[in-house]
Amino acid sequence: MSANVALAALAMNWRRLVVSSLSSLNQITFPGIRSDCPACCGGMVGPLAYGSRFCRCRPPPCLAGRLDVRGAAVYHRTTDRRGTPVRLARTGEAALPKECSTMANDFTRRQFLATSACATTGGALSLQSRARAADAERLKKALIVGQPTEEVLKPIKEAGFDGVEAGVVSPEDAAEAKKIAEGLGLRIHSVLRGWMAFNSEKPEELQASFKQTEAALRAAQAYGADAILLVPCRIGGMAMPEAWDFKIQYDKQTGHLVSVAAGDNDKYRDYIAAHDRAYDTSLEGISKLIPAAEETGVVIALENVWNNLFVDPHYYAHFIDAFNSKWVQAYFDLGNHVKYAPTEEWVRVLGKRIAKVHVKDFKLNADGHGGNFVDIRDGSVNWPVVRRALADIGYNGWMTVEGGPGDKAEASKRLDLIIAGK
C-alpha cells in the first residue's frame, strides 16, 4: 500500500471517529471541528484548527472584509468529477478567485499526523471534562444528622445518599468526621445552625447568637462544608393576617413594610413594627458575620421557616439582596411556605439566590387554607413542576430531605423520583 493510499485510509478512519463521537457527544469540539457548524462537521475537512486558512468556516485572506455577516459556513468546498476538492465557493455563487482555489488543499502529511494526535488527546480530555461537569451538575441527595459518626453515616451511604447536613461540633471533631465521611464516599455539605435571636433586646442573647453562628462557620470549614443553615430570628404573639390573606407591600429603599394585607392595616400595626425591627437587626447582625463567612469560605444561608417573617417570595429575595454579598444566600425549604404561595413560584423568584434546598412536603386542606406536613410526594407540592423550576434557574446543588419518610431507603427512592421530575 502506497504512502498516499495509507494516508487517505487514515484520514477516512479519523473522519469516522470524529463523526461518530460528535453524534453521541455533540458538545465536544475537536480541533478543526466546530460542533455548531453543520457545513464544517458534515464534510471531509480533516483535523484543521478552526480559524486557520484550512477551515472552510472562515474565508481565505483574499476575501478579507467580504464575509457575509450572517455567520460561518458561508463558503463550501467544490470538487471535480472524481470528487477531488479544487476550490472554495460561496453558497449560491460562482467559484472564488484563482488565488484562493488551492488554499484548502496544501495540507501536509506532517500537519495531518500532528493534528490527528492532538484531536485524539483533546477528545479524551474533553470526555474527562464532560464527565466531571456532568457530576457537578447532578443534583445530590442528603439527609440531616446530628453528629456524623461512622455508625450514623454507613446506613445513609447504603441507602443511596451522597452526603449529609450535620450539627455544630468543635472544629477538631468536625475534621475527624470529615475523614470518616470521605472514607465512606460521603460529603458533609452543610451545617444546621438553626434558630438565632438577632432581634433580641437582651445583650446576652444577641451576643450568644453571634458566637454560635461563628462556631457554626468554623465547624462547617472543618467539615469541608460550604454553607450553614441559619434562621435569624422569629416574631409572634400579635395579630397578623392568615397565611392566605397576606399581601405584602414594602418600601424598596428601607425594606420596611407598608402593608401586609388588603384594606385597613391598623390591626396589624404591632406585627409591622416587629417585622421592621427584625429586618433591621437581622440585617445588621448578619452583616457583621460576613467577614467570618468570607474567611472560612462558608455561605450563611438563611432558611424560610414558620417564624412569621418574609412570607412573600419577592420580599424574601429583597432581604437577601440587601446584604449585597455572595456570602449571604437563601436556604430554601421546598415545603415550608406552601401555605403562602406555590413552591415553584418561590423557586423562580429566588432563582440564583438559592444556595441549598431542603426537601419537604405539605398537604393543604381541601379549601387551600392551612394543612399539615406529610412525607415527601404525599402532599401538595407539585414536584414535576418544582423540578422543572429548579432546572430553569440552574440549581444543581444538594437536595436534603427533612422530615418523612423515616425509612432511609424509602426516602432515597422518593427523592430519586423527585429528581427525575416525577
Domains and CATH numbers, the chain: 3-132 (no CATH), 139-419 (3.20.20.150)
Average of per-residue pLDDT across 210-226 = 98
The predicted pLDDT at position 49 comes to 35
Digit-coded pLDDT (tens) for 170-203? 999 999 999 999 999 999 999 999 999 999 999 9
Instruction: Tell me the C-alpha distance between 211 and 227, whole Å.
Output: 17
Q: Determine whether 15 is exposed, middle or buried from the number of CB atoms within 10 Å of its CB (0-12, 13-18, 19+).
A: middle
Q: Are 157 and 180 in contact (CB under 8 A)?
A: no
With a cut of 50, say whether residue 90 has pLDDT above it: no
Helix, strand, coil share (%) of the chain residues, nearest 5: 40, 15, 40
Closest by CA position to 71, among listed 101, 38, 22, 114: 38
Give the span between the Cα atoms of 344 and 319, in whole angstroms: 19
DSSP 238: S
Residues of the chain with pLDDT > 90: what percent? Answer: 67
**CA 227, 171, 222: angle at the middle one, nearest 5?**
45
Which residues, 6 or more positions from 124, have their beta carbon under 8 angstroms from its beta carbon?
Answer: none
Q: Which of 192, 195, 190, 196 is nearest to 227 (CA)?
A: 190
**Confidence at residue 4, expressed as pLDDT on a 0 to 100 scale:** 52
Dist CA 135 CA 139 (whole Å): 8
pLDDT of 151 > 90? The answer is: yes
Using the predicted structure, report yes or no on whether residue 391 has a pLDDT greater than 70.
yes
Q: Which three cell numbers stand for residue 251?
A: 418600601
Mean pLDDT of 367-378: 96
Amino acid in position 24: S
Whether pLDDT at 371 is above 50: yes
* Dihedral class, residue 28 (left if φ above 0, else alpha if ψ from -120 to 50, else beta): beta
Report residue 102's pLDDT band, with 50, 70 and 90 as the boundaries. Answer: very low
Give residue 122's pLDDT band: very low, low, confident or very high (50, 70, 90). Answer: low
Q: Is the pLDDT of residue 58 over 50?
A: no
In this structure, of 44-48, 313-317, 388-392, 404-408, the range with the lowest mean pLDDT score is 44-48
pLDDT tens column, 304-328: 999 999 999 999 999 999 999 999 9
Q: What digits encode the pLDDT tens for the residues 21-41?
A: 434 433 333 333 333 333 333
SS3 130: helix
Look at the chain and count its residues. 422
Q: Provide the whole-model pTM.
A: 0.70
